[in-house]
Every structure is written in structure tokens, then in C-alpha cells.
Amino acid sequence: MEKITVFTGAGISAESGLKTFRDEDGLWMGYNVYEVATPEGWKANRKLVQEFYNMRRREVAKAIPNAAHEAIAELQSKYHVQVITQNIDDLHERAGSKNVIHLHGEIFKMKSDRDGTMISEIRDDIDADAKAPDGGYWRPHVVWFGEAVPEMESAELELRDADIFIVVGTSLQVYPAAGLVYALPPGIPKYLVDKNPPSVSNLHGYTVIGKPATEGMQDLLKLI
């Protein structure tokens, strides 16, 4: 069975109502990114950071998978599908995708700020003073700016044996995640679905579908 590796970004979840911080009216507007998404921000104002991610967790809980998430899950009927996502929501899993790597963490998990390997499920709000068993504070299980991306190596390994590569809802412009594409085997079919694709010069060898994820994935299903 051929293997499809799908790389997704904020654009796919935006169509489920989850705003991206690059949108003009995006979720992050009104928040200084360094105050709510850095280790320094956490040390300076733990309460503000928890409130911000509690809000995001509630919004994700209310969101539902869209047609693009479902189309990716549908590919599993014909291919071995590995999803690598930059998103911290669980919409891929709720749509039925079985193999999902979250590069930037998961909003429905929390971890100790002392021992990052101590991880627990969380569906509700996290109290700012909630402590893990090791005495550290529970923090959102997300990768903040300035932190390492623990799943990068796993993602790279999955890309190395891909037979088909699909990018949905991201421009492949943000590093370090964008650098993963260099692990792909040469000559395999590559597709990009994004309503605002970057210049063609950056996408040599890609079939580009310049549409929103929900529409573009329907077109892509007809091509493969």
C-alpha cells in the first residue's frame, strides 16, 4: 500500500472557525505573543498564559472537523496515511485520521513545567496554581516560541519513505517545520492546497491548488 504523508497548518482549521494568529482579526490580536507563547511569558505571568490557552481549549472543543479534515481521513481507505500537523487541535483525530503527529503540541494535554515528559489529558480549564505530581506547575502541552520541537525527528522519519506528499493550509514558509520537506524522497508527487500559495518559484515540482482547504481537497481527491 502506498504511503501518503499529509502536512497541515492553520489554514485547514481556520475553516472550522479556529482563527490563526496571522489573520488580521486573528485570535492572537490584542495579545503580545511574547507574553502568552514564550517560556519568559510563562515565568512572568502564569495566570495570563493559562487564561489564554484555556480560551483556546474551549474554542477547539466547540469546533467541528470540516470537509478537508474528512477528505484526509478518507484517503485511509486506499493508502497508508500519516498526518503531520502544526495545529494543536484534535480535528484530524475527530475526523477519523489514525496516525497524527502534532509538531507543536496538543491543546487537550498539559505537562509539568519542571519535567516536560510528565503529560496528562485535560479537557477543562487549567488553574494557574495547579501543580503536577513532581511539584512543577501544569502548563499547556504546546511548543512555545524559543522552545525545541520534540516531534521534528519523528516527522522527518515519516517523510523519508513517503510515496506522495500533500500540503494543506500552510505556505511552507515558517521554519523549522518548513525545512522538513527536504527529507522527502526525490521525484515523488507533491501537492499543495492553500488559498494563498506562495510564489511558484518556491514550489518547484508541486501541483498547486490555490483554493481553501475544504474546496481544494475535493479537487485533490480527483487527482490521486
Residues with catalytic roles: 104
User: Checking DSSP bridges between strand 190-193 and strand 164-168, what pairing results, if any?
Assistant: parallel
Q: 212 preceded by cis ω (within 30°)?
A: no
Contact present, 36 and 128 (Cβ < 8 Å): no
* Beta bridge pairs of residue 125: none
Q: How far apart are the first and last CA of the chain?
A: 14
Question: 3-class DSSP state for residue 206?
Answer: strand
Question: 3-class DSSP state for residue 20?
Answer: coil
Compute the distance between CA of residue 108 and CA of residue 6 in angstroms, rounded to an integer: 22
Compute the distance between CA of residue 139 and CA of residue 159 in angstroms, rounded to an integer: 30
Cell of 11: 489554514
Compute the distance between CA of residue 29 and CA of residue 22 in angstroms, rounded to an integer: 9
Contact present, 21 and 27 (Cβ < 8 Å): yes
Sequence-distant (6+) residues with CB within 8 A of 212 are 11, 15, 68, 195
Cell of 75: 484517503
